[in-house]
Structure 1
């Protein structure tokens, strides 16, 4: 197997038991050198509101601003720091459309999500029709090959409007809410606990729009988990 990132051959040792008995062993997709370039977030040294790596568990300045202008309860946990290595990965995975790269983190991210507080529904953030047409896949569900999610939300972004990835920070924060509850879901989510799933927490605007939509529909608790922050 060649590493999905550097394309060098990965040499693996297979225990004798795997050769003699019909057991399933997951193939390693990424070499240890490439994985070492990504940095996990230390929960004990991260913002308790958004998961940003910092020097304490106190709310960061961004979360203090959100707290001052919102009335609902919401927090995010993230697995990796959104550093240069992760930015390069996201560029190749999302914007270059290399769908195979989902396997770099799919198992690790799924395990991380499974460690969170018990919830009623796991909800991957949807993408709009224009993104489906150009990219061909939802980058979030691609990272969740070992988990089952429920489609509670739909996104309807105007065709002429920029995507979040094309906007600067100030533009992101001013983005309108494009999320709606799926017409078949209103009754099943009342008083339920929802865990939103996304790839990157940047300003938090998109995830908070989704949480606002779910709270307005009667959900009891909405939080999120992202691959990186």
Structure 2
């Protein structure tokens, strides 16, 4: 078994589940050295809206979102800091197209989503143009690698530059790029929904997607990203 990221050999003891259920052996994962590169986020000393690590109750961005969406009880969760180590990993996975890296955080995602089994999971989609050039949806890839079922209820009809290539002002001024499928419009009402993205920066993408979902009155809308 080798590290999913650096390709060094990994030696570890199998878990009981892997011994008695061989199909569950996870052969794609990070080695201990690579795992240490990524900083886990905590709820302590963080923004109550988006989990930004800070001492204030709400960050500047979330204060603005509260004004725009006063009836939405927003609370975003993420696992890792979007620091240099995560940016380098995202560059390799998302922009250079190393699709094998979708397995890197499968264990962490499995553990998180185990508590969300009663929710409709929706991955933030990419446009047809982005899918054609990249070849995959990076968010769906992460969920698939972790064995997490998700529904294609959102459609992205606008492409444009990647959020990473935009400054803060450009991100905040983007027009609505999403719409719901006809199926979603029938099933979301009064259901708990979990909207998933890969990275949370200003929240613009999440709130665009949330806006069209909230129109169908879900019982609760939760949001999550791998990194923040």
Both proteins in one fold, TM over 0.5: yes
Q: Number of residues paired by the alignment?
A: 224
Matches of 1:36 and 1:45, distance apart in 2: 21
SS in structure 1 of the partner of residue 205 of structure 2: helix
Equivalent in the alignment of 1:59: 58
Is the CA contact (8 Å cut-off) linking 1:47 and 1:53 kept in structure 2?
A: yes
Equivalent in the alignment of 2:149: 148
Deviation of the 1:69 alpha carbon: 2.5
Q: How high is the TM-score relative to the length of structure 1?
A: 0.89
Cα 1:114–1:37 change in 2 (3 A) is same
Matches of 2:158 and 2:193, distance apart in 1: 23
Cα 1:193–1:10 change in 2 (3 A) is same
Equivalent in the alignment of 1:41: 41
Equivalent in the alignment of 1:132: 131
Residues 110-156 of structure 1, C-alpha deviation per residue, up to 9 Å, x if partnerless? 3213335x654111111100110011111011111211011211110
Cα 1:209–1:196 change in 2 (3 A) is same
Matches of 1:111 and 1:28, distance apart in 2: 16
Matches of 1:97 and 1:41, distance apart in 2: 26
After superposing the two structures, state which structure 1 stretch, 79-88 or 187-196, moved more.
187-196
After superposing the two structures, state which structure 1 stretch, 103-112 or 192-201, moved more.
103-112
Deviation of the 1:41 alpha carbon: 0.5
Deviation of the 1:203 alpha carbon: 0.7
Unaligned runs of 5+ in 2: none
Equivalent in the alignment of 2:104: 104
Equivalent in the alignment of 2:8: 8
Matches of 2:15 and 2:61, distance apart in 1: 49
Is the CA contact (8 Å cut-off) linking 2:3 and 2:31 kept in structure 1?
A: yes
Deviation of the 1:60 alpha carbon: 1.6
Cα 1:64–1:16 change in 2 (3 A) is closer
Q: How high is the TM-score relative to the length of structure 2?
A: 0.89
Q: Which has the larger radius of gyration?
A: 1
The two structures, once aligned, show a CA RMSD in angstroms of 2.2
